[in-house]
Structure formats: structure tokens, C-alpha cells
Amino acid sequence: MDRMVLKRMEYYGYHGVFEEERKLGQRFYVDLVLELDLQEAGKRDDLSKTVNYAEVHDLVKNIVEQKSFKLIEALAEHIASSVLDTYTMVDALTVGVTKPHPPFDIHFEGVTVELHRSRK
């Protein structure tokens, strides 16, 4: 299966277990790997035979920036189901949501939740 990869899309959202996170907001990164057949798009050089990644970006942006979840697991799940519902040519996908600066008194680069969903 072919793949379309959207790396480290950056958004500002209001997600987190702590009330302050949902009030002040913070940056989130989203990675998507869409599994779909890209052969016809490549052969015909035809956007209608593939997924418009600018539209996918906007869909994810609306979810991250307009909704609020306590868990990034819930955010990732909502992104996955929305992409699969919107783009029927996508057979499966992997979603990664990263919170680069979780509010802990420990130092690490961030936390990422990654999930894989398919139509099967």
C-alpha cells in the first residue's frame, strides 16, 4: 500500500487533564501517515485521484484548535475517525499526537501518542 506522510503539523490547542492547560492552551504536533492507492494520481497527475493534503491539514487544524480533550489519546482518536469518515479512499492511517511541553516537573522532549486505525 502507498503512503502519504504529513509530518509535524503544528497547532495551538486547549487539551489536557489540568484545567490550566485547557484554559491557557499549548502547542501540539500531529503526524499522519495515510495508506491509500496513489498509482492513478501518479500516472494521471490528477489531484482528484488522491487526497488533497492541504484539506487534510485544515481538517486536523479545526479538530485540534476548535475542540478540547483531556487526553491526547482522545484527540488522536477523533482525528483518525474524522479522516477516515471524510476521505473514503484512505484505507488505513497512523496518527501521532505530540505534546512537546507537558506540565510536569521533569525534563523530556515531550510525549507522543501514536495509533493505527483501518477500515478492516
The number of CA neighbours under 13 Å toward the Cβ of 68 is 12
DSSP state of 101: S
Of 49, 67, 70, 99, catalytic: 99
Q: Quick one: which H or E segment has residue 82?
A: helix 72-86
- Is 99 in the active site? yes
Cα dihedral sign, 13-66-5-55: negative
> 17, 49, 54, 65: which is closest to 32 by C-alpha?
54
Tell me the catalytic residues: 99
